[in-house]
C-alpha cells in the first residue's frame, strides 16, 4: 500500500520533481512549473552589506559628465569693435564701416546681419544705443556715437559736448588743405589738386586730408553730416547752399570752388546758407 507524504518542505515546488520536465530559465536556473529555482536562491544568498547596483543611466552619464568637465572654458570676446573715423554713417550708407558698426552694435546686444547696409534695423539699433547711453538720438553715427561705440569717454579724449580732442586738429587740416588750392581753376566733376575742382570735389579733397572720406556730391555731403547753427560753426565745417558747397573759414568767410569765380577762392558768405559739421 502506497504511503502519501503530506509533509512537504517549505518552498518545495508543487510540480513533481521529474528531471525530464525541467526547463532552463534565464541564467541557467531550472524552471519547474511556475517556480524558478536557482535565481531565488541566488537572491537570498547576496551579502547583506553588498553595494547596490548602479543604474545604467548613471553609468552612461558619468563619462558624459567627465567629458563636459574636460572642455576648455569659453573665451570672452572683447565687445568693442573699432569703427574708423570718417563721414557720418546714416540710413542708406553702405560699406566696410557699416559692417564695423553692425558688429559693434551686435557686441552690445543687437541682432543684426553684418552686411554693410545701413537699413531700418541698423537705424533702430543705433537709436536704441543712443537712448541707452545718453547721446543725441538721431539715428546717425557721427563722432559722438562712434566714440561711445569705440569705448571713448570724456576721461580719455571726448569732451562733455561729445566732440573729440582731435576735432580742432582735423578742422585746421581741412581748412589748410582747402586754402592750399586757392587759385586752382574750376572744373566741373573734378577733384584734382593743383589742376581743377568743382565745389564738392574741393570739399572731398580737403576732408580726405583729415582722414574723412566724403562722397563727390554736394547733396550727399550735406546730408551725411549734422546740421548746426551758424553760431556753432567752426572753421572746417561745411557751408551749404542749394546746389553748392564750401568750407567755412571763420569770420563769415568760405573757401569754395565756384563756377562764377572760375577758381578756388576765399570770399564772404552770401545769402542764407546752412551749416553742416562732421565733428
pLDDT of residue 169: 61
- Residues 154, 174, single domain; the answer is no
Q: Is pLDDT of 218 > 60?
A: yes
165: exposed, middle or buried (Cβ count in 10 Å: 0-12, 13-18, 19+): exposed
Which residues form the domain of 122? 78-165
Distance between alpha carbon 117 and the CA centroid of its chain, in Å? 13
Number of domains in the chain: 2
For the segment 11-18, the average pLDDT, to the nearest whole number, is 46
pLDDT of residue 92: 83
Q: At what angle do helices 199-208 and 167-179 cross, to 10 degrees?
A: 130
For the segment 255-260, the average pLDDT, to the nearest whole number, is 94
Q: What are phi and psi of 112, to 5 degrees?
A: -110, 150
In the structure grid, which three cell numbers stand for residue 80, read together? 568693442
Q: Is pLDDT of 68 > 80?
A: no
CATH of the domain at 137: 1.10.101.10
Q: Is pLDDT of 134 > 60?
A: yes
For the segment 216-240, the average pLDDT, to the nearest whole number, is 94
Q: At what angle do helices 96-106 and 120-132 cross, to 10 degrees?
A: 50
pLDDT tier at 14, thresholds 50, 70, 90:
very low
Q: Is pLDDT of 248 > 90?
A: yes
In a domain, 210, yes or no: yes
Of 73-82, 112-121, 170-179, 220-229, the least confident: 73-82
DSSP assignment string, 218-233: HHHHHHHSEEE-GGG-
In the structure grid, which three cell numbers stand for residue 75, read together? 573665451
pLDDT of residue 168: 58
pLDDT tier at 52, thresholds 50, 70, 90:
low
Query: What is the enclosing helix (H) or strand (E) of 276?
Result: strand 274-277
- Residues 150, 250, single domain; the answer is no
In a domain, 133, yes or no: yes
In a domain, 69, yes or no: no
pLDDT of residue 138: 84
- DSSP designation for 187: -
pLDDT of residue 43: 42
Contacts for 175 with CB less than 8 Å, ≥ 6 apart: 206, 235, 236, 247, 248, 249, 255
- Residues 145, 181, single domain; the answer is no
Amino acid at each position: 500500500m502506497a504511503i502519501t507524504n503530506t509533509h512537504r518542505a517549505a518552498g518545495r515546488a508543487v510540480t513533481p520533481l521529474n528531471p525530464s520536465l525541467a526547463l532552463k530559465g534565464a541564467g541557467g536556473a531550472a524552471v519547474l512549473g511556475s517556480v524558478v529555482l536557482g535565481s531565488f536562491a541566488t537572491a537570498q544568498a547576496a551579502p547583506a552589506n553588498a553595494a547596490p547596483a548602479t543604474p545604467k543611466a548613471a553609468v552612461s552619464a558619468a563619462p558624459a559628465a567627465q567629458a563636459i568637465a574636460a572642455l576648455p572654458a569659453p573665451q570672452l570676446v572683447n565687445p568693442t569693435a573699432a569703427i574708423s573715423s570718417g563721414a557720418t554713417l546714416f540710413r542708406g550708407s553702405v560699406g566696410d564701416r557699416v559692417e564695423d558698426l553692425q558688429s559693434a552694435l551686435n557686441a552690445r546686444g543687437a541682432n543684426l546681419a553684418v552686411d554693410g547696409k545701413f537699413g531700418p534695423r541698423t537705424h533702430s539699433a543705433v537709436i536704441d544705443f543712443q537712448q541707452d547711453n545718453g547721446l543725441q538720438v538721431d539715428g546717425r553715427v557721427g563722432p559722438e556715437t562712434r566714440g561711445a561705440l569705440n569705448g571713448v569717454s570724456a576721461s580719455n579724449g571726448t569732451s562733455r559736448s561729445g566732440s573729440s580732442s582731435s576735432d580742432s586738429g582735423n578742422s585746421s587740416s581741412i581748412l589748410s588743405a582747402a586754402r592750399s588750392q586757392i587759385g586752382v581753376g574750376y572744373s566741373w566733376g573734378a577733384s584734382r589738386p593743383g589742376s581743377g575742382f568743382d565745389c564738392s570735389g574741393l570739399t572731398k579733397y580737403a576732408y580726405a586730408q583729415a582722414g574723412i572720406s566724403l562722397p563727390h556730391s554736394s547733396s550727399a555731403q550735406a546730408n551725411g553730416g549734422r546740421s548746426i547753427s551758424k553760431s556753432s560753426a567752426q572753421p572746417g565745417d561745411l557751408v551749404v547752399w542749394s546746389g553748392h558747397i564750401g568750407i567755412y573759414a571763420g569770420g563769415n568767410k568760405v573757401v569754395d570752388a565756384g563756377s562764377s569765380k572760375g577758381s578756388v577762392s576765399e570770399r564772404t558768405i552770401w545769402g542764407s546758407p546752412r551749416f553742416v559739421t562732421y565733428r
